[in-house]
Amino acid sequence: MKFSYYPGCTLKTKGKDLDRYGRLCAEALGVTLAELPDWQCCGAVYPMAKDEIATKLSAVRALASSRDEGTELVTLCSACHNVIKQVNHDMQTDADIALRVNNYLGLDTPYTGETTVLHYLEVLRDRVGFDAIKAAVKNPLTGRKIGAYYGCLLLRPGKVMRFDDPENPTILEDFIRAIGAEPVIYAMRNECCGGYIAVEDKGAAVKRSSAVLDNAAAKGADTLVTACPLCLYNLKKNGGRDDVAVVYFTELLAEALGVK
């Protein structure tokens, strides 16, 4: 199983663990992640503006280059995933944006949304399969009570992301079961952590993050897993509790597969 891999800037700086364990686990599961050559910033939040095409260009370069490789494109950071998938959707459904982007880029073959964008978790669920992961687990995390923290970017907008049910997702819970731990269901698991507002209004981020952690703790979680560097940052820095550990899901997977 070979995929093009888009790590994104955070995974090379603040979120090195998400990337490092992700690669180790992929290798252990027989998945080849070929990092795209010359990838650029996904565009961060800016491509969400509908009337702006310059900010979408770098995401389209990654998509087109994955198409030229003839492979599906795998992302790991929730934010990059969200941005690239939304830009891909624009290229598939908005003829005006597609035309202007292609005019600007002048690629040999115009890009019109041919690449399939997968999140690492979707590769685990749909390509490897949670049963196969269960079979590959060497150190099952038996007895651990782990809460899934989805945040917003993996799930929404639901019609574009088509990742899981945006209100009642199950993919991370299934993942937690596959690595031998017990998933803790808590209502705040798909609520916002505060996101970038932490930069401007720390109080708001504290309120949001602590509400998530308090709810998870009340339901008995000892650990939360996330796929998002920003969520991890907010929950750790602004969550106000240290009795609930917050880790990347790839780290727990690495632990379970015995490659950490």
Hey, which residues between 132 and 191 contact another protein (CB under 8 A)? 159, 167-168, 185, 187-188, 191
Q: Which of 93, 113, 111 is nearest to 102 (CA)?
A: 111
Out of 94, 174, 214, 222, point to the residue binding another protein (CB under 8 A). Answer: 214
Out of 215, 222, 237, 241, point to the residue binding another protein (CB under 8 A). Answer: 215
CA distance 194 to 239: 10
Q: Tell me the residue type at 211.
A: A
C-alpha distances (whole Å) from 59 to each of 41, 113, 119, 120 are 7, 11, 15, 18
- The region of 41-49, 211-219, 221-229, 235-243 touching another protein under the rule CB under 8 A is 211-219
CA distance 131 to 164: 18
Quote the least distance from Cβ 187 to another protein, whole Å: 4
Q: Is 50 in the site for another protein (CB under 8 A)?
A: no
- The region of 25-33, 67-75, 210-218, 241-249 touching another protein under the rule CB under 8 A is 210-218
Helices 78-93 and 229-238: crossing angle in degrees, nearest 10, is 140
Quote the least distance from Cβ 214 to another protein, whole Å: 7
Cβ proximity to another protein, 45 vs 187, nearer residue:
187
| Contact call for residues 6 and 42 (beta carbons, < 8 A) | yes
Grouping H, G, I as helix, E, B as strand and the rest as coil, residue 53 is coil
Q: Which of 138, 113, 123 is nearest to 33 (CA)?
A: 123
Quote the least distance from Cβ 171 to another protein, whole Å: 15
Quote the least distance from Cβ 188 to another protein, whole Å: 6
Cβ proximity to another protein, 60 vs 188, nearer residue:
188
Quote the least distance from Cβ 121 to another protein, whole Å: 20
159 CB burial (10 A radius; 0-12, 13-18, 19+): exposed
Cβ proximity to another protein, 68 vs 222, nearer residue:
222
Cβ proximity to another protein, 68 vs 214, nearer residue:
214
Write out the residues near another protein by the rule CB under 8 A: 159, 167-168, 185, 187-188, 191, 214-215, 218
